Structure 1
Amino acid sequence: MKHSLASRLLLSVLLAGAAAGASAHGDVKCKAYPKTEWKSHEELARKLVAEGWTIRRMEVSKTCYEVYAKDPQGKRVEAFFDPVTFARVEE
């Protein structure tokens, strides 16, 4: 019984940490541009691959490109990029 309670507590702590990490990107703000000024996400993908990134998935948020990838150092990241300049936007 104690083992089960300890397991549940650990699971709760892990889930809370994951939830906090998942909501952390809510602070990312890209400059708002009209969609007509945005460069294509394919162009961003080509740029990142040329720089050594391995892209798993890309999404379009309201004002940013959101990229799930491995960076050139091999670290798994969720990164945000300005859709006009392709500058990386930090949290």
Structure 2
Amino acid sequence: MARQQHSPEEKSKLVLEAIRGERTINEIAAENNIHPNMLSKWKREAETQLYTLFQDNSSKERKAQKAREAEINDLYAQIGKLTTQNEWLKKKSGF
């Protein structure tokens, strides 16, 4: 039996219904042909990640910018190392 793929929209609809608590997770899961454990997992993930909706985007952007800058610095260091090695090899081989 192939695994079902659920869209983010479908997951969020089911999770919101579970969070409201008007029906049990078992009832919601049975009606939508999914395992109750899967719905519980989605609900837990939503509850633990909900705060990210309210995070300051500028702090996320700063972290991403710092990561990009660190990667660029690493690449420049690698270029310098390779350039030095290349020059050394040219001298040794007589080019």
Give me the TM-score of the superposition, normalised by structure 2: 0.32
Larger radius of gyration: 2
More strand by share: 1
Give me the TM-score of the superposition, normalised by structure 1: 0.33
More helix by share: 2
